[in-house]
Structure 1
Amino acid sequence: MYPFSVLMSIYKGDNPSFLDNSLNSIFKQTLLPNEIVLIKDGILNKKLNSVVDNYARANTIPFKIIENKKNRGLGYSLKVGVEASSNEIIARMDADDISRDYRFERQLKLMSSMPNIDVLGSNIDEFSGDISNIICKRVVPEKDNAIKLFLKYRSPFNHPTVVFKKSKVLKSGNYSEYFRNMQDYDLWIRMAIDGCIFHNIQESLLFFRQSKNLYKRRSGIKYIKYELKLINNMKRNKVVNVIEYFFLLLSRLPIRILPSLIREVIYKILIRKWI
């Protein structure tokens, strides 16, 4: 199987205990990466630095640590991380999620047997508090055609689960720092336009931690501006037709000004499968 890197970005607002759980899940994998590219997005507190140092000193997996002088956001940090990765295959991981022990082995085996795949994701189990408390699943389409149809309306990947080819991401322009909270969706759109091949494994390979402000982050004027720019880009590049374009404007933008509680209910009904 291919050698691969794990790409993670952390910032001062991350929880040290959650970060410890996340890194531990990488070190417990049945197939280990040969490097972890970790972006420190701005100045971190002592507890976060201590967690990183403890794992880096273990020497089980080499760390490549890059420090932003100030907080630049996830899109910028991932862009830097992709460029710094030593391997063609890069696996994403967030600082508060937990991968199943066999996640990387399952994904790398599939990419080895289907080398035409450029981005590979999976379903997720969403939990609250402890991974024994699974609340719901987010199920995404499996095959390329279905994924690209789904992409017209919502992000077709669970971002922390993806494994992708560095060369294809760079060819499509890499992550953008100008789409906060939507940098992954923007990248998938550009990669789809470039003809990249997508796939999702139809099982949950990652435990996704539900944060209290998950739905609050998906609101406000700034978020509407990012989403409007994204929708306009899809129309300009003929990802959506005129009818689909106006459907997106009427169905997505009003949700961003609704109270967080109502928006949460809508997401739960339309997007998640509840346990």
Structure 2
Amino acid sequence: MPRPTLSPADALAALRAEAPLTQCITNYVAMNIAANTLLAAGAAPAMVHTVEESGDFARIARAVTINIGTLSPAWVQGMLAAATAANAVGTPWVLDPVAHFASPYRAQAARELLALRPTILRGNASEILALAGGDTTARGVDAADPVMAAEPAARALAQQTGGVVVVTGAIDLVTDGARVATITGGSPLMPQVTALGCSLTCLIGSYAAIAAPFEAAVSALVLFAHAGERAGREAEGPGSFGWRFLDALAATSPAELAATERVTWG
């Protein structure tokens, strides 16, 4: 099975060298931590979401990320405009269909965006299972299913969209419908800090600006897992973990990533 030619260490070096401008259409809860995550990692965030400018901005950004966490009709129109513009100019874009099964309105928005064929789709196991038409007991933003249970659904969605699908949880899984990689690391404190998953979506977008989609997803997950594990060793709880995580992102070097083994191929 062919593996990516760009390692997570090399991708981190490229990210910091290029500091790609990343348009992040994300929810109110996530804006601050997502922007700080990208800055700490070495990218350049822009939280542009209105329909009046989101399409125009998507044409100049290096990558676009779309998170449906807090929806309104105006925000949905901005999301659709950004995804359409990104497709028109060949800009990679990432979709995070947060709790898309929670209401008919949210489900419709997710279907419309998925039809635009995101470069990378990221969700937890329950979101990916439900998006592929499977059953889940989840009702909100937290996953109720294990990551590996969503592998067949992730493969199917990758084949349907022609993109890469990322399933995140205690371990992370990446597939393009043929290849599969799993990534280990992180900390049990990560789910106790709001919007870290949303921030990961934005970081995956930044990596997609400097690497092929599969490589981008794996590299972003490796950095996130490494920084989470590093921060978790010294954190006293979720409060101190939050700032330690940002510090760990900034302090992690390409050489440090090169010395770790977090990716398993299967």
TM-score bracket, normalised by the shorter chain, equals 0.3 to 0.5
Structure number with larger C-alpha Rg: 1
Q: TM-score, normalised on structure 1?
A: 0.31
Q: Name the one with the larger strand percent.
A: 1
